[in-house]
Amino acid sequence: MNTSPRQFKNTFKKLSLKSRLLLAAAFWLSAMILAAGIGIPKLVNDYLVQDVKSQLSLSMDEITANIEVNRKGNLIMTSPLSDPRFSQPYSGLYWSASTKGDDLRSRSLWDKKLNIEEDPLDTKATIKGANNEKLIYIQKQIYLPEIKAPITITIGLNEDPLEQTLHQLTGQVWIILGLLFSGVLFLIGVQVSWSLRPLAKMQSELVMLRKGEQKTLSQHYPQEIAPLVSELNALLFHYQELLERARHHAGNLSHSLKTPLSILKNELEYLSIEDKNRLSIPIRQLQEHIDYHLSRARMAGSMNILSVATSPSERVDAISMAFDKIYAEREVILISELNSEDKIAVDKTDLDEMLGNLLENGYKWAHSMIRVHSIEIPNNQIQIIIEDDGLGIPQDQFERVIKRGIRLDESTPGTGLGLNIVTEMAHSYRGSLTLDKSTIGGLKATLTFPKVD
């Protein structure tokens, strides 16, 4: 399967800081190790070749000092050379002195001559010895008074021993560099892990905040991160204050409006039928608007609060006990299959509001049974499913009933705000409400929320 450049770019963006640092370190370290692995053997090779040529230059001086021309005009050596390898056949160390008409060579060449191979792509020729081995060589031209033509002296040494030595050295260098790469990368990994440990600590504390196990971050952080921690703590405190303030204001407003509304409703009973019908509609609309906006005020403080965790199983059990008494004459049985260990990132009061609205609808419309169960889905989320065996809602009305003030049955008491409030409250906790046809005949309501591990 081919990976497109865009997918590769997106994958790279998702890499953690530790992975990025280690990947960058591995890249640059690999480049340096590769440069060292190539450069060091080349430097050693140049040094060894230069050292061999320095040794050959000593023999060149000795040959130059001892070469002469006899009475017949031929080249001769007046005395043997000091290096015995020149006298040993096929020893790997050779010399030759040649003019246009004469050729003098070392005994080590025996019956062979130095083989010169010209390479058109290389300015320097390749010279091979008696065993056709490649030589490291030097050349020099000298002049003697007895002959006019220059004498070309060539001295060469078998390159194979040097190549073998260099090959062994290169293998050892790569082993050392490999160990160095592993060791340095390991130390960099330790350094990166140690340097990023405060971020890992912050991540674990944020998880604890989300679970509700603590309300603020600790203050023991390096000076580079300490300002961020202080700002996060201030932000958390600010949101907690907003939550408490919004709920207090909502409660105070609710109590302050409840009495005047009750008086107005009671006064309607003493009015004429015409006046009663004319005033009951705006009073009911006023009640609906108050209920709706009070619910919105309660939700305003709960947005993005981290330190909340509630067990849906416990809340369903508590709410069902109350509804079993209120709707006892309907003889509806609620079956809860929720896992008592599951927790979601929703405030307890807000979860009661959402579950209460959905369960109350179930108690009103179910024939005999309400079933509550949950399913875990990807991205660490959980679905709470509430379904009944009642008549349900036509599928084409699912989107309509969650709008504010919509009621499909005007014969039962209510404001038509329940499902709309549940939808908006669920959204404030990064969740959702969806409606569908139940497998047992009635309505299926699904609440989706982030799960607390």
The one-letter amino acid code at 58 reads L
pLDDT over 90 percentage in the chain: 35
Q: Where are the alpha helices (DSSP H) in 138-225?
A: 160-195, 197-211
Q: How far apart are CA 77 and CA 236, in angstroms?
A: 99
Q: At what angle do helices 312-326 and 348-365 cross, to 10 degrees?
A: 40
Burial tier of 400 (Cβ tally within 10 Å: 0-12, 13-18, 19+): exposed
Helix (H) or strand (E) holding 55: helix 17-66
Residue pointed to by tokens 């020729």: 125
pLDDT at site 156: 93
Q: Please provide residue 383's backbone torsions phi and psi, each rounded to the nearest 5 degrees.
A: -105, 125
**With bands split at pLDDT 50, 70 and 90, how would you rate the model's confidence at 375?**
very high
Residue of 86, 69, 92 lying closest to 151 (CA atoms): 69
**String of DSSP letters for 406-430:** --S-TTS---S-HHHHHHHHHHHTT
Q: Please provide residue 107's backbone torsions phi and psi, each rounded to the nearest 5 degrees.
A: -65, -25
Mean pLDDT across 333-349: 89
Mean pLDDT across 175-200: 91
Half-sphere exposure of 7 (CA within 13 A, CB side): 4
Mean pLDDT across 166-172: 92
The one-letter amino acid code at 16 reads S
Residue of 384, 385, 394 lying closest to 437 (CA atoms): 394
For the record, the structure tokens of 138 come out as 């030097």
Cβ atoms of residues 41 and 169 within 8 Å: yes
Residue 2 has pLDDT above 60, yes or no: no
User: Between 348 and 5, whose confidence is greater?
Assistant: 348
The one-letter amino acid code at 188 reads I
Q: Using DSSP bridges, classify how beta strands 333-336 and 369-377 pair: parallel, antiparallel or unpaired.
A: parallel
Q: How far is CA 5 from CA 8, 13, 42, in A?
A: 5, 12, 37
**With bands split at pLDDT 50, 70 and 90, how would you rate the model's confidence at 126?**
confident
For the record, the structure tokens of 106 come out as 């070392």
Mean pLDDT across 313-326: 92
For the record, the structure tokens of 232 come out as 């996060």
Neighbours of 328 (CB within 10 A): 9
Residue 417 has pLDDT above 50, yes or no: no
pLDDT tens profile 223-275:
888 888 888 888 877 777 777 777 666 667 766 776 777 777 777 777 787 77
Cβ atoms of residues 99 and 120 within 8 Å: no
Q: Report the SS3 class of residue 400.
A: helix
Q: How far apart are CA 150 and CA 139, in angstroms?
A: 12
Q: Please provide residue 187's backbone torsions phi and psi, each rounded to the nearest 5 degrees.
A: -65, -35
CA gyration radius, the chain? 47
